[in-house]
A = this chain, B = another copy of it.
Amino acid sequence: MIKRRYQVKKLLLAVDCIIFGYDDDGLKLLVIERGFEPLKGAWSLVGGFVKETESVEDAANRVLHALTGLEGVYMEQMRVFSAPDRDCEERTVVVAFFALIDIKKYQQQISSGYHAKWVSINDYPELIFDHNVMVEMAKEQLRYRAALHPLLFELLPEKFTIPQAQQLFEELYNVSFDPGNFSRKLTSTNMLIKQTERDKLSSKKGAFYYKLDSKKYKDGFSTFLNFVYKPEFKKKDPKNTKTKDK
């Protein structure tokens, strides 16, 4: 039966952002040191309460902006966490978002003044409440979405190389791709514009830089693109141990 309004207790609504970042060092998660009681000093996700005049999206963007100085970041609503006992004090329901950013681009903002740090997504500290669960779910969600849509470009710099993208995919899915096939796969999306310069830092020959073709990117975003090879993935470690001499 439907409850009338006046019978209903109100509760607190919050947002938490699972912020993924990437640099040459790998996939990272942004965590902050909590500045107030309860659990002051513990590590947590970036989050805050939703104001009366804003949507949860607005709130998530506001919170993110307050921390990173950053706007226009890629962000998706992920899921609501609402177990009655999830918080330690008052009943708080939280909407989790995941965000993707290029770490280098916002290094300054993040490091200055805030008690925030990047940690490896495979080895991050114990977080408050159910934040660890949220992070694991967000990783799943990122894998899910990035397998079908060109999400991961949001983690790369404006100009990036294909081997760089390959590294990112390989880390996220813990697989290894054939460089030749991977290169063709990405270029065949027609979402990339080849630059004239090469990145000469990571190899002798150097890999061409690419930029996103933002129109093609937007158009192709929602169509299924199968960014990850589907059949059995090659596991990262067991290097092909086939007979080389046919």
Contacts and interface: CB of A to CB of B under 8 A. Distances in A.
Interface stretch (A23-31, A46-54, A192-200, A209-217): A46-54
Given A1-B66, A2-B36, A230-B224, A50 B82 contact: yes
Interface in A45-82: 47-57, 63, 66, 77, 79-80, 82
Contacts of A139: none
Contacts of A230: 224
Contact of A47 (B2, B54, B56, B82): B2
B93 A56 contact: yes
A91 B8 contact: no
Interface in A11-32: 11-13
Q: Can you tell how many copies of this chain the complex includes?
A: 2
A4 interface: yes
Nearest to A3: B49
B48 A2 contact: yes
A113 to B, nearest CB: 11
Contacts of A63: 2
Q: Sorted from nearest, which 9 A-B pairs have the closest CB atoms?
A: A10-B10, A8-B49, A55-B82, A56-B82, A3-B49, A9-B52, A2-B48, A55-B83, A80-B95
